[in-house]
Structure 1
């Protein structure tokens, strides 16, 4: 099919950081991906490092998804459209966008029902065998390249992806003006969830974390109260919240958090933890608590862009590390530092 490009034609190859095995990351020249009729080619400006990226880097797999061939990591990304497919208006070239990093089939039962995040045929960035954005260019369907205003930085535009996770979480949790919420874990997702809960109107936002520095940080990003779960029994503290969000993956945090929910409340499991854990079933049954999970997102980018552009959510302040492509391995290890929140990789920058 025909691809529309500016007068200066695009290169045939691009630089990418390629994962070939556990902690085996190398800079390689790879082909620029072809652009289908309904797609756009984006020159990547910034990529946020996600916990799934670090997990693939350190362990080579997440559940049934196994790195068994070369893989480009990175799915929290932003950039500028530099070419479009034949079905996309050429006027999109030059547009700054945030990428919703997925491609659903549009035909299955879940897609037809509007739950495209649950499409069994989904192709998602940086999930084997689909390449991500630790590269100079990436392709995405035109409807998933979301225009962002100039008031958003490249970093904030990239971090609309984890904000979309938080928006989905708040929607599932039923957070509304005046409600109360307990969040377990003050890592990146917990902190973004705290900010988003505040934007959704929550009056009480309680955050638990084992690390004192992270608890203090939560207070700067929307929490009204923090708890050290080693000093306070969360299950018996009388918190009586409308909603509980687990952003830790800890079985103890999940069980205690559910017990802190008032009758007919909701618990949303977000954190990646043990694939199986024991839940307080009697408590769930007797208080009619809804327990659910989230898997990615559906139709969240417009809300995310509004929350950042209106100043209700601050994503730029989450950035604690910046790395060029040659140091992507350091970016993937940066989460070991207690003061780390979000590291950004810039695929267009090289150190040598």
Structure 2
């Protein structure tokens, strides 16, 4: 890797080309575009299902890989340069990145729902490059210092933890409520942990993989239920019985997007319950609208995260109300990035991380 005159290494990037082929390429080193920008040397990046989807399918909805793109958006790193008006950060700080910068002027941004901004520049969403590179530039408001006990490796989970925080807040107060969480992948496990941290008395994790259900019981879930091939109605009855929730759950968070799970969750809700759709599957599902109306269910969609969600996620880690131990199951050097994608596509383990160029496991695990 080359080193420039200002001391920075070259900007090695892992690039996805249209058609699904990867290549390591040298990209231009990002520079400060405003006096409130920060340049980060990327330490570690967690792989998301969306990264794998772009690789395997070339598109997610209207976002199409039409030219080479750098993937990755769940990243931590070290500050290497700050703009003149950056406050509260210094070179050498360990940080986590919020991967979407918004316009800050539209009605959604001004009303405190910047996750709905149509001008968002979200990392690894075409046409915008992501974080699987040596360096990445973010505005100050998208940069957060890490608690002393959170490693750069584990910090890659703060982005999906913020997704869990956002969806849980959409459900309203969870204090002494019963919550069912469908899906025990990374986001589902973090939803279970957040629900418990928010005061839920019962948190039932639902999945088809026994090993993931075992992990859920270590991360907030009080009960677990393995979905069967029976009807959604039968699964709902059995789920309620397993969790000891006779009248139905107060809240359901679905992190799968799978039609059987959505239908089961609706049937398992109590009257007046709240359903939050966290994960995405097929764009069009057949769901029991009659049940939604009969029970007067509140059905909400959840999209990424908004103001305060990253801070709250970090606060949950700082207070030890949420712990990340055991969620990262696979680690890859930057040179092994394609192997990491194959590992995630094979549904091996829970969470896979790729270390940045010239970073290794020991450097990223140290706090």
Instruction: Give the TM bin, normalised by the shorter chain.
Output: over 0.9
1:145 Cα deviation from its structure 2 partner: 0.6
1:339 Cα deviation from its structure 2 partner: 4.9
1:337 Cα deviation from its structure 2 partner: 4.8
Find the partner of 2:18 among 15, 18, 21. 21
Q: Secondary structure at the match of 1:78?
A: strand
RMSD: 1.9
1:273 Cα deviation from its structure 2 partner: 0.3
Query: CA 1:316/1:218 → structure 2, altered by over 3 Å: closer, same or farther?
Result: closer
Q: How far does the alpha carbon of each residue in 1:11-59 deviate from its partner, in whole angstroms, 9 at most, with x for none?
A: 4841010111243111110101121112100011111111111111111
Contact 1:213-1:339 at 8 Å conserved across structures: no
1:188 Cα deviation from its structure 2 partner: 1.1
Which residue number corresponds to residue 236 of structure 1? 237
The number of aligned residues is 345
Q: Name the CA distance, whole Å, in 1 between partners of 2:117 and 2:87.
A: 27
- Superposition pairs of residues 68-107 of structure 1, within 5 angstroms: 68-89=66-87, 92-107=90-105
Q: Name the CA distance, whole Å, in 2 between partners of 1:211 and 1:128.
A: 32
Structure 1 residue 256 corresponds to structure 2 residue 264 = yes
Q: Secondary structure at the match of 1:105?
A: coil
Q: Secondary structure at the match of 2:153?
A: helix
Q: Name the CA distance, whole Å, in 2 between partners of 1:106 and 1:12.
A: 32
Q: Secondary structure at the match of 1:220?
A: coil
Structure 1 residue 110 corresponds to structure 2 residue 108 = yes
Q: Name the CA distance, whole Å, in 1 between partners of 2:88 and 2:184.
A: 43
Query: CA 1:236/1:89 → structure 2, altered by over 3 Å: closer, same or farther?
Result: closer
Q: How far does the alpha carbon of each residue in 1:68-117 deviate from its partner, in whole angstroms, 9 at most, with x for none?
A: 11111110011111112233249522221111111100111101111000
Structure 1 residue 54 corresponds to structure 2 residue 39 = no
Which residue number corresponds to residue 192 of structure 1? 190
After the TM superposition, which segments of 4 or more aligned residues of structure 1 sit over 6 Å from their partners?
none
1:348 Cα deviation from its structure 2 partner: 2.2
Find the partner of 1:173 among 171, 174, 181. 171
Q: Name the CA distance, whole Å, in 2 between partners of 1:10 and 1:294.
A: 42
Contact 2:207-2:225 at 8 Å conserved across structures: yes
Of the structure 1 ranges 18-27 and 157-166, higher mean CA displacement relative to structure 2 is found in: 18-27
Contact 1:117-1:296 at 8 Å conserved across structures: yes
Q: Secondary structure at the match of 1:314?
A: coil
Query: CA 1:216/1:90 → structure 2, altered by over 3 Å: closer, same or farther?
Result: closer
Of the structure 1 ranges 83-92 and 191-200, higher mean CA displacement relative to structure 2 is found in: 83-92
1:241 Cα deviation from its structure 2 partner: 0.4
Q: Secondary structure at the match of 2:31?
A: coil
Which residue number corresponds to residue 129 of structure 1? 127
Which residue number corresponds to residue 213 of structure 1? 211
1:8 Cα deviation from its structure 2 partner: 7.2
Q: Name the CA distance, whole Å, in 2 between partners of 1:249 and 1:22.
A: 26
Which residue number corresponds to residue 309 of structure 1? 318
